[in-house]
């Protein structure tokens, strides 16, 4: 069975506390959603504001393959705003639990049914496709839920959706509810799960097994409270774990859209998140690294390339010589067995002190064992910063590049950004991409030592580097230059 996907990143996902997307950002996400094969895109809630309506209009004007929806309450005013935005369909959300009907709306069940039916009639009279979503359906009696759905279908609803609004379903109860609904409902049934107990993905899988043919999700599982069903986990889970189901998604594009949404929303991905987290395909353990090198299937259920990722071996005290040798070769360093053991022993000493071992640390250790002296092409002589409440942060840097002294300046949104921009304005840095930045205070007090770890990319080469100073700006610039020197030396 082909499972359809309604993506609600632009509506439910944007309800994540602190997230507010511009029209251009919404359009970029919607464009990528359409490109990767999402069937339905909930572009927003037209009733919200004039800016929200403009964002939805910008999306509906693109002639995407995906059906474009707006969220709507069962009110003519809401539906009129949806029509103004020229959407294909509405996600018509009707509260169905006693709690919502009696305490929130303060109406009777009969009045709720009349309101729902009238709204469906109004939508269909104006040419809209209707997906009727029962809000708080998981706390609604199954008999009344069927009544709401059957009424809506009789009035022309095209699809219905069970919303686990507060995330209280379990896989068992989810399966049972959808199984019972499927007995009496003859239109596609969808599920909309929330992750309050960390069960949204499991409940979605159970819903599909129970008879659902569509699910709602958000990229990276963002959303209110603990978030929504994770798009990438469901899509890859269906691909790998449920051969009876399929989707239209281009799976190899999943990591790309995950990073896009993380960057535009500012909701970054926890390292251990399935599929798209930084550590999802990272291996440090010597036993695991050895197995992976011999046959990736030993410790990976899917290949990283499937979702647009790359495998990496993490340098640390658990690393064995096999994984270490692979990483050294990636950095262009070839060693003998005895040299490899010495390097491995030195890494363990450093890691036992609680240090994160970066690629630059690794290369410094390897150079010492191999008795290689690298001459850095770039040296930092001086950094000067001007910053304040009414002053755009400005930095000047004095560098020695290939033996010649260079003075340059830059501005940024903060002093660190300004300093890095000042360095970056030189041609030698043109092909270097700054892809990760992490800061730790490694001692206490206002004079704490700051440990800055960064990740840089040049072409296919990715390298990590460190700078440790009492001053975060100096630490950041030194880490950056250290990493660039290593990239340029390979």
pLDDT value at 442 more than 70:
no
Q: Are strands 67-72 and 40-45 parallel, antiparallel or unpaired?
A: parallel
To the nearest whole percent, how much of the chain has pLDDT over 90? 57
Is the CA virtual torsion 293, 294, 300, 303 positive or negative?
A: positive
pLDDT value at 389 more than 80:
no
How high is the pLDDT of residue 36? 97
The helix/strand/coil state of 159 is strand
Q: What is the dihedral of CA 299, 303, 305, 307, to 10 degrees?
A: -110
* Mean pLDDT value across residues 391-406: 89
Give the predicted TM-score (pTM) of the model.
0.75
> What token pair was written down for 471?
């001053």
Element (DSSP H or E) covering residue 257: helix 254-265
> What token pair was written down for 345?
């022993």
* Mean pLDDT value across residues 243-271: 93
Q: Is residue 349 within 8 Å of 472, Cβ to Cβ?
A: no
Q: Which fold, 4-265?
A: TIM Barrel (3.20.20)
* Mean pLDDT value across residues 396-411: 90
Give me the chain's average pLDDT, please.
88
Cβ atoms within 10 Å, residue 472: 19
Report the C-alpha gap between 320 and 119 in whole angstroms: 64
pLDDT value at 25 more than 60:
yes
pLDDT value at 444 more than 60:
no
pLDDT value at 12 more than 60:
yes
To the nearest whole percent, how much of the chain has pLDDT over 70? 90
* Mean pLDDT value across residues 19-42: 96
Q: Are strands 450-458 and 433-441 parallel, antiparallel or unpaired?
A: antiparallel
More confident residue, 207 or 311: 207
- Write out pLDDT tens, residues 445-489: 655 667 788 888 887 778 888 787 778 888 899 889 988 888 887
How high is the pLDDT of residue 46? 96
φ, ψ for residue 59, nearest 5 deg:
-80, -45
How high is the pLDDT of residue 37? 98
pLDDT value at 292 more than 70:
no
Q: Is residue 162 within 8 Å of 203, Cβ to Cβ?
A: no
Domains of the chain by residue range: 4-265, 282-370, 378-489
DSSP string, 179-216: HHHHHH--S-EEEEEB-TTS-HHHHHHHHHHHT--EEE
Q: Which fold, 378-489?
A: Double Stranded RNA Binding Domain (3.30.160)
- Write out pLDDT tens, residues 324-366: 887 788 777 888 888 888 888 877 777 776 666 777 677 777 7
DSSP-assigned letter for residue 273: -
85 phi-psi bin (left φ>0, alpha ψ -120 to 50, beta other): alpha
pLDDT value at 295 more than 90:
no
Nearest residue to 319 (alpha-carbon basis) of 301, 293, 296: 293
- Write out pLDDT tens, residues 147-160: 999 999 999 999 99
Report the C-alpha gap between 74 and 68 in whole angstroms: 18
């Amino acid at each position: 069975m082909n499972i359809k996907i309604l993506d609600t990143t632009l509506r439910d996902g944007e309800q994540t506390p602190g997230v507010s997307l511009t029209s251009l950002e919404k359009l970029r996400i919607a464009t990528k959603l359409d490109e990767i094969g999402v069937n339905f895109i909930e572009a927003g809630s037209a009733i919200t504001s004039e800016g929200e309506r403009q964002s939805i209009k910008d999306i509906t004007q693109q002639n995407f393959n995906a059906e474009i929806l707006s969220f709507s309450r069962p009110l003519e005013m809401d539906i009129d705003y949806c029509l103004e935005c020229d959407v294909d369909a509405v996600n018509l959300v009707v509260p169905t639990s006693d709690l919502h009907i009696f305490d929130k709306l303060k109406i009777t069940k009969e009045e709720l049914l009349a309101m729902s039916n009238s709204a469906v009639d109004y939508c269909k009279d104006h040419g809209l496709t209707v997906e009727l979503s029962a809000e708080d359906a998981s706390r609604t009696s199954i008999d009344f839920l069927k009544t709401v759905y059957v009424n809506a279908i009789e009035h022309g609803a095209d699809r219905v959706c069970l919303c686990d609004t507060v995330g209280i379903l379990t896989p068992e109860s989810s399966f049972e509810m959808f199984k019972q609904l499927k007995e009496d409902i003859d239109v596609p049934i969808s599920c909309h799960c929330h992750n309050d107990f960390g069960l949204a993905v499991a409940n979605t899988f159970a819903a599909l097994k129970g008879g659902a043919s569509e699910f709602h999700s958000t990229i990276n599982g963002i959303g209110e409270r603990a978030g929504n069903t994770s798009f990438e986990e469901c899509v890859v889970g269906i691909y790998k774990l449920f051969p009876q189901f399929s989707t239209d998604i281009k799976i190899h594009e999943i990591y790309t859209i995950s990073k896009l949404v993380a960057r535009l929303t500012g909701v970054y991905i926890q390292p251990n998140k399935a599929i798209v987290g930084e550590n999802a395909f990272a291996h440090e353990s010597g036993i695991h690294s050895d197995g992976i090198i011999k046959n990736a299937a030993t410790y990976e259920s899917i290949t990283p390339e499937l979702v647009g990722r790359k495998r990496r071996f993490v340098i640390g005290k658990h690393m064995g010589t096999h994984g270490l040798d692979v990483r050294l070769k990636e950095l262009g360093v070839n060693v003998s067995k005895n040299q490899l053991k010495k390097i491995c022993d030195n890494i363990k000493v450093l890691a036992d002190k609680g240090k994160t071992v970066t690629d630059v640390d690794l290369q410094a250790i390897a150079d010492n064992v191999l008795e290689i002296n690298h001459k850095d092409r770039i040296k930092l002589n001086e950094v000067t910063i001007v910053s304040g409440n009414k002053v755009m942060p400005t930095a000047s840097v004095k560098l020695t590049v290939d033996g010649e002294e260079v003075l340059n300046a830059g501005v940024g949104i903060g002093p660190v950004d300004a300093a890095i921009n000042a360095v970056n304005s030189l041609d030698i840095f043109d092909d270097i991409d700054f892809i990760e930045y992490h800061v730790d205070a490694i001692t206490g007090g206002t004079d704490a030592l700051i440990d800055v770890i960064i990740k840089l990319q040049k072409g296919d080469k990715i390298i990590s580097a460190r700078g440790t100073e009492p001053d975060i700006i100096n630490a950041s610039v030194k880490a950056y230059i250290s990493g660039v020197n290593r990239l340029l030396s390979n």
